[in-house]
Structure 1
Amino acid sequence: MSPGASPAELRAWIARHLDPLEDRLPASGVVMGDQGLEPLPSDPTIELTPAAVLVGLIEREAGFSVLLTRRSDTLRRHTGQVAFPGGRLDPGETAWQAALREAQEEVGLHPDFVELAGLSTPYRTGTGYLVTPVVGFIAEGFTLEPNPDEVAHVFETPFGFLMDPSNYEEHERELPTGDKRRFYAMTHEDQYIWGATAGMLRALYDRLYGAALA
């Protein structure tokens, strides 16, 4: 994509490299996951809880930014971590319906301000979720009202920073089992973005910039 492309051209270019809004996994059956930095084949024998997140892109004067949250310190899982708005699917929901609902419940973003673009690479977490990242463009004029039970802080991070591979670090931690886990991480200002959120962002980068693209 040309550096001089207009926001409309960039939106169209991003959308072309996403999966369509269909209630299924990509035909390849490949997902990213917490277990490592390499793509993992899906395993039909393991029952995972379907979930979705909204990767919300906001057009700003300096370029697109990404809507992110820091989770509340009172939550039982992923306490205080940086995350996209999102959560598990309710019965009968599609991934994009769940992503929009969760974004409204967590940060007060009304769905009318979101133009859905498509689906990025599913991500399998070590806690048993299969997360579908739903990419959407957030129009100007929106207001946010974070739910303090779930969200401690809402902020934006430049899309260009998140799509720059030089900003990604490969970290390693030892689990209680003795196994080692490798994961992506990056820091922007005072926000440490790692684990599933960084993994989904890296997967989006791979879709957009990781191969020769039109």
Structure 2
Amino acid sequence: MTREERRAWITSRLHPIADYDPSLANPLRSDFDLNPGLKVDNPHALRPAAVLVGLVEHDDGPTILLTRRSDTLRSHTGQIAFPGGRCDPGETPWGTALREAQEEVGLDPAHVTVAGLLHGYQTVTGFHVTPVVGFIDPRATFTPSPEEVADVFETPFDFLMDPANHQRQHREVPGGPRRHFYAMPWNDRFIWGATAGMLRSLYDALHDESGRTPSE
């Protein structure tokens, strides 16, 4: 599959930003997908956020841009995440994703072509996250903000989109029920939780019921 064919295929499976309507954008995916017994809060009370699911278009195959959160942050310390954060009032999800990527890893928005949106994702911490998929020019450079990001790295797209690498794991929550989640360990990186859940959402959006891509 050529770069142009891959772009066309991915874009065709996403929700166009031109059709985005925040009043109708209730999250359809969530941390509760693998935990149906947990309580689901009112989606209208969720705090809006967005992340950039960035595909770096290298000649030898695309990668997905990820970060490891700083060890000094108050929440989700050291976890693997997409660049992203809370939406400012009146800000679009793609505006948030590009702004946060610039603040967190120094990614120039001029190097990103927004392709579209995935279904909104509800986190157990009370956020409605809109994953914004974008194509990143491989000439882009990254400079992590030390206050927010300990490391920035790229993981092969083909690895993350291979369902054989989509593990289902669980952890015991003190005083609560066992929590199940997706995990996609890659080398020494443990990609799990909402980040892995959104990657699984991307996989589901890209593949038909047979699980085959257009190149197969």
Give TM-score, length-normalised by structure 1: 0.90
Root-mean-square deviation (Å): 2.2
- Larger CA deviation: 52-61 vs 172-181: 172-181
Equivalent residue number for residue 120 of structure 2: 122
Deviations for 1:101-138, whole angstroms, at most 9, x for unmatched residues? Answer: 00000000010000000001211111110100000000
SS of the residue corresponding to residue 91 of structure 2 reads coil
SS of the residue corresponding to residue 93 of structure 1 reads coil
Equivalent residue number for residue 142 of structure 1: 140
Equivalent residue number for residue 194 of structure 1: 192
Change (3 A) 1:38 1:13: farther
Equivalence map 1:14-163=2 (5 Å): 14-21=10-17, 22-24=19-21, 29=26, 31-37=28-34, 44=42, 46-163=44-161
Partner Cα separation in structure 2 for residue 75 and residue 29 of structure 1: 28
Partner Cα separation in structure 1 for residue 117 and residue 23 of structure 2: 9
Change (3 A) 1:73 1:90: same
Give TM-score, length-normalised by structure 2: 0.90
SS of the residue corresponding to residue 56 of structure 1 reads strand
- The residue identity in structure 2 corresponding to 1:181 is R
The total of aligned residue pairs comes to 209
Q: Does 1:174 align with 2:172?
A: yes
Alpha carbons 1:32, 1:38 under 8 Å: kept: no
Alpha carbons 1:52, 1:133 under 8 Å: kept: yes
Equivalent in 7, 10, 13 of residue 3 of structure 2: 7
- The residue identity in structure 1 corresponding to 2:31 is D
Q: Point out where structure 2 has 5 or more consecutive residues left out of the alignment.
A: none
Q: Point out where structure 1 has 5 or more consecutive residues left out of the alignment.
A: none
Partner Cα separation in structure 1 for residue 104 and residue 173 of structure 2: 30
Alpha carbons 2:104, 2:149 under 8 Å: kept: yes
Alpha carbons 1:36, 1:181 under 8 Å: kept: no
- The residue identity in structure 1 corresponding to 2:62 is F
Alpha carbons 2:25, 2:120 under 8 Å: kept: no
- Larger CA deviation: 42-51 vs 155-164: 42-51
- Larger CA deviation: 112-121 vs 17-26: 17-26
* Higher share in strand: 1
Alpha carbons 1:19, 1:26 under 8 Å: kept: no
Change (3 A) 1:27 1:207: farther
Change (3 A) 1:140 1:76: same
